Structure 1
Amino acid sequence: MRLAAATLDAPDARELADFYLRLLPGWQVRPGEDGPDWVHIRPPDGGTGLSFQTEPAYVPPLWPATAERQQMMMHLDIEVDDLERETARAVAAGARLAGFQPQDDVRVLLDPAGHPFCLYTDSQ
């Protein structure tokens, strides 16, 4: 067995896939896995990818979580070389900076569908 992808639900799979294609340089749509309700993208090295599925009943998670609202069930951690530059690039690509930032060396952002994801630098 091997993990092929993590799948994110969204109101519009194509729109969310397009955002992650802007965010992740060099990533491409996997041939034959592109449609209005399903898109699979993968890195240039062919490793584990991301898939996006249209879900008409999608409810975005709340960050930070509360008991009364849809909670985050997973998030993506994306390592970057320059935290401030890549945060600005992510915002320019369509992300929003989350209002709550729990760590100085990590930036929590929300993708266009409201999924939280983190940018961080490896300080080791």
Structure 2
Amino acid sequence: MEISGVVLGAPDARSLAAFYERLLGWRRDQDEPDWVKLVPPGGGTGLSFQTEPGHVPPVWPHTPGDQRMTAHLDIRVDDLAEGCAHAAACGARLAGFQPQPDVRVHLDPAGHPFCLWTGPA
């Protein structure tokens, strides 16, 4: 068995895919109105986006009764400040709660948290 991809739900699959295209520099492998798949330049596990009517973004950090995050993306960067500036220019927003000094939690346009960090791959 092999994991072939990770899927994020969104109000608009194409819109969220466009954000991650800018953020990661990956290309579209599949592009349908309610489904988009991005693939990394060197191959490997892809990232897909599915339109979910009534999408409710997770709350970070969660509190009782809120929509919980069930997964998040960890994205390694060479320079944390530059990575954060790039993420903001692409449309991400810095989360209000930051649990670690060497990691920055951001929220994508659909509200999914993702972490930027530096360190070995």
TM-score, scaled relative to structure 1? 0.95
Aligned residue identity for 1:87: C
Matching of residues 1-124 of structure 1 within 5 Å: 1-25=1-25, 27-30=26-29, 33-122=30-119
* Distance in 2 between residues matched to 1:8 and 1:68, nearest whole Å: 21
Q: Structure 1 unaligned runs (5+)?
A: none
Aligned residue identity for 1:122: G
Shift of 1:117: 0.2
Q: Percent same amino acid at aligned positions?
A: 64
Aligned residue identity for 1:55: E
Deviations 1:40-60 (A, max 9, x none): 001001110100000002100
Matched position secondary structure for 1:29 = strand
| Count of paired positions | 121
* Distance in 2 between residues matched to 1:122 and 1:86, nearest whole Å: 13
Deviations 1:24-43 (A, max 9, x none): 02x1001xx21110000010
TM-score, scaled relative to structure 2? 0.97
State the Cα RMSD in Å.
Answer: 1.1
Aligned residue identity for 2:83: E
